[in-house]
């Protein structure tokens, strides 16, 4: 019984549940378990399947009270915002495309083109010459920055500490 | 196999109305967690296998459907007592009405079924 409550305490501490709230929940739980035990009711009977997974029980309780976000509950599937997924995919595609374009020869896109014709030629032969800052390089740079930003967003949302507001 | 399926169905049925049951038993008089479990058990509603009532009580508290206070219990340590708030009483009334309508509709469908248990 004590072990169950202690495991709950540990989980609440890990989740950042404020000490007074964690202490209140632990005391209530311990008192109920003690009373149940005195009446011949086991902790398993009182808590059902939760008895076998104290961390999940503790996290669910805290989440239902609104003390920690629901995403803190083990097994909770975190739904990433669709916008973040789309942004990451777009950045990755841009990176790959611009890298491929650069790898397959000289840049084929440019911000400006210069038309030149060989001197003394009787027929006007026009060549497109890449400008100094080809679009591929700009896209590559932008894609790298966007990907770095996306990685930061993904990791920061995964590490975000719960905030207590109860 | 049959027993497991039956328990699973019972668990699912109960999950949808357990909050109403809790509000109903605390409406009879303020109660702490284990006390509510006992009141439910006295009516044949054992919570075993359905998880525990604590997260549900937490949700009711978060939603403002219950009021809480701490008081000593029969010489024991102070306990957290729950009672329905005015919003909780309204939710209970609406929920009971919905439950009865759903129960009657299901009964109308299931009533003609002849049950023969071998």
- List the domain boundaries for chain A: 2-72, 82-157
Average pLDDT, chain B: 88
B50–A contact, CB cutoff 8 A: yes
Q: Which of A23-27, A60-64, A111-115 has the lowest mean pLDDT?
A: A111-115
CA pair distance B68, B111, nearest whole angstrom: 42
B52, B62, B77: residue with CB nearest A31: B77
Q: ipTM score of the complex?
A: 0.83
Residues A106-135, mean pLDDT to the nearest whole number: 55
Question: By three-state DSSP, how is residue B22 classified?
Answer: helix
Q: How far apart are CA A147 and CA B93, in angstroms?
A: 53
Compute the average pLDDT of residues A119-126. Answer: 54
Residues of A within 8 A of B76 (CB-CB) are: 31, 35
CB B42 within 8 A of CB B31: no
Question: Which of B:66-85 have CB within 8 Å of A?
Answer: 73, 76-77, 79-80
- Closest Cα in chain A to B56: A64
By the 10 Å C-beta count (0-12 exposed, 13-18 middle, 19+ buried), A130 is classed as middle
End-to-end CA distance of chain B: 16
Contacts of B77 in chain A (CB under 8 A): 27, 31
Q: Report chain A residues whose CB lies below 8 A from the CB of B48.
A: 45, 48
Q: Running DSSP on this structure, what letter comes out for residue A134? A: B
* pLDDT tens figures, B68-79: 999 987 777 789
Q: How far is CA A158 from the centre of its chain?
A: 4
Nearest to A64 among B55, B77, B80 (CB): B55
Is a pLDDT exceeding 50 seen at residue A18? yes
The answer to whether residues A84 and A153 touch, using CB atoms and an 8 Å cutoff, is yes
Tokens 């299931």 sit at which residue?
A: B110
B104: closest CA of chain A, how far (Å) = 30
The predicted pLDDT at position A164 comes to 37
Question: How close is the nearest chain A Cα to the Cα of B101, in Å?
Answer: 28
Tokens of A52: 């076998």
Give B61 to chain A, closest Cα distance, Å.
7
Q: What is the pTM of this model?
A: 0.65
Which range of A100-104, A134-138, B68-72 scores highest in mean pLDDT? It is: B68-72
Torsion of CA A155, A157, A159, A165, to 10 degrees: 170
């Amino acid at each position: 019984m004590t072990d169950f409550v202690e495991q709950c305490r540990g989980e609440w501490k890990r989740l950042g549940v404020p000490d007074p709230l964690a202490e209140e929940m632990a005391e209530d739980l311990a008192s109920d378990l003690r009373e149940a035990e005195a009446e011949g009711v086991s902790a398993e009977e009182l808590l059902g399947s939760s008895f076998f997974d104290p961390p999940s029980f503790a996290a669910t309780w805290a989440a239902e009270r609104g003390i920690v976000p629901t995403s803190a509950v083990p097994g909770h599937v975190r739904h990433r915002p669709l916008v973040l997924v789309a942004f990451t995919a777009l950045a990755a595609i841009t990176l790959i495309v611009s890298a491929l374009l650069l790898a397959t020869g000289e840049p084929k896109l440019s911000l400006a083109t210069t038309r030149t014709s060989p001197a003394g030629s009787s027929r006007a032969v026009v060549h497109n010459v890449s400008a100094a800052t080809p679009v591929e390089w700009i896209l590559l740079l932008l894609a790298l920055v966007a990907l770095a930003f996306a990685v930061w967003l993904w990791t920061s949302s995964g590490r975000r500490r719960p905030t207590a507001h109860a | 196999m049959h027993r497991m399926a039956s328990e699973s169905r019972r668990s699912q049925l109960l999950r949808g109305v357990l909050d109403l049951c809790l509000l109903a038993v605390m409406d009879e008089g303020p109660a702490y967690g284990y006390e509510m479990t006992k009141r439910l058990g006295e009516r044949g509603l054992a919570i075993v296998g359905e998880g525990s009532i604590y997260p549900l009580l937490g949700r009711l508290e978060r939603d403002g459907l219950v009021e809480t206070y701490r008081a000593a219990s029969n010489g024991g340590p102070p306990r957290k007592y729950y009672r329905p708030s005015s919003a909780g009483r309204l939710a209970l009334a609406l929920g009971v009405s919905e439950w009865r309508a759903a129960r009657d509709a299901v009964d109308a469908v299931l009533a003609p079924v002849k049950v023969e248990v071998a």
